Amino acid sequence: LEQESLSWRTETSEVYRINAAAGDGEGCPVSDEMAGLLQECLELSGKSEGAFDITIGALTRVWNIDKWAREGETEGFRPPSPEERESALEKCGSGRVRLEWVTGDGSQARIYLPEGMQLDLGAVGKGLALSRILELLEEEPEVSGAVVYLGGSVLTYGSRPDGGSWKIGIADPSDPSSSVGILTLEGQWCVSTSGDYERYVTVDGVRYHHILDPATGYPARSGLCSVTIVCGSGLLADALSTACFVLGSEQGLDLAKSYGAEALLVEEDGTLRMTEGMREIFSAQE
């Protein structure tokens, strides 16, 4: 999925091709599947008032936090200058994307990105992968139950051999090796967590993490350390966890509810906030 569709780094991927065509008046032809994915992401941008934005590629590149976090050291890292940040921000904004959906005559969908704009689907990759894995599982009648974990996103499927419920621990952002509590789930669900402890670098006591606020150009500081979403769709769980993280408690809870998803938020002081339905499936650590 990464190589063929989603990676902006890999020349063979569809996203790479779309980004390379930014500014081209002819736009870029996209597969139906990609068009559907982009449409859902653009919709969420609107509903989150721009907090979630897959056109944030130019900004994620000037921060490049993934690189430093992956290399596990901060030497050489510096936050982008105000000029770099401003110029990257000018290239972002879902409102300026045009997606021409498949028409009745069978012609292909096309996307038009303005000059300089770059897509970054990092916020939805794992969720989308879970949806693909679910399709594979459904083709295997001998698989009666499974749990699939893709760094931050979990799929539960079917039932456990002993008939018990699935138990998913939710990491404590202040100590990710322990948990703030346990989710108890029956059957098929997607669970996705976005947190400031997943990928970050610390410089002079300031933590720069990988979830950026398109309103400021800085790592989001909404008073939250993590957001966990539970819903039926992998894509939605992953996208909403990122969106709600940027929005903060009040707007984040409203957004999750508007999608019929359950949300668990860990605030900076450790306070837990959650939707009504979450209370029924989550039990906090004693």
* 248 is a site residue for ligand AMP (CB under 6 A): no
Q: Which of Mg ion, ligand AMP, none lies near 233, with the C-beta cut-off 5 to 8 A by kind? A: none
Written as six digits, the tokens of 127 are: 């969720």
Torsion of CA 71, 76, 80, 83, to 10 degrees: -150
Q: Is 217 exposed, middle or buried (0-12, 13-18, 19+ CB in 10 A)?
A: buried
* 120 is a site residue for ligand AMP (CB under 6 A): yes
Q: Describe the strand order of the beta sheet including 28-30 as a list of residue ranges.
A: 28-30, 109-112, 98-100
State the helix-helix crossing angle for 234-247 and 249-258, rounded to 10 degrees. Answer: 150
Q: How many Å separate Cα 253 from the centre of its chain?
A: 16
* 241 is a site residue for ligand AMP (CB under 6 A): yes
Residues near Mg ion (CB under 5 A) are 123, 194, 238, 241-242
Q: Which of ligand AMP, Mg ion, none lies near 128, with the C-beta cut-off 5 to 8 A by kind? A: none
Q: Which is nearer to Mg ion, 156 or 241 (CB)?
A: 241
Of 66, 60, 42, the closest CA to residue 201 belongs to: 66
Which among 17-25, 91-99, 128-136, 207-215 is the span making contact with ligand AMP, rule CB under 6 A?
Answer: 207-215
For ligand AMP, what does the binding mask look like between residues 34 and 53, x meaning CB under 6 A? ------------------xx
Distances (CA, A) of 204 to 75, 176, 197: 11, 22, 17
Work out how close the CB of 194 gets to Mg ion at its nearest, in angstroms, rounded to a whole number.
5
Work out how close the CB of 80 gets to Mg ion at its nearest, in angstroms, rounded to a whole number.
22
Q: Which of Mg ion, ligand AMP, none lies near 66, with the C-beta cut-off 5 to 8 A by kind? A: ligand AMP
Work out how close the CB of 59 gets to ligand AMP at its nearest, in angstroms, rounded to a whole number.
8
For ligand AMP, what does the binding mask look like between residues 66 and 105, x meaning CB under 6 A? x---------------------------------------
Q: Where are the beta strands (DSSP E) in 71-199?
A: 98-100, 109-112, 145-150, 153-158, 166-172, 175-185, 189-195
Q: Which is nearer to ligand AMP, 65 or 183 (CB)?
A: 65
Exactly one of 21, 94, 210, 259 binds ligand AMP (CB under 6 A); that residue is 210
Q: Which is nearer to ligand AMP, 35 or 220 (CB)?
A: 220
Q: Which of Mg ion, ligand AMP, none lies near 129, with the C-beta cut-off 5 to 8 A by kind? A: none
Rg for the chain, CA atoms, rounded = 19
The residues, any chain, with a CB within 8 Å of residue 208's CB and separated by 6 or more, are 63, 65, 77, 79, 200, 201, 202, 219
Written as six digits, the tokens of 272 are: 């837990």
Binding site for ligand AMP (CB under 6 A): 52-54, 56, 60, 66, 120, 122-123, 152, 194, 198, 210-212, 214, 238, 241-242, 246
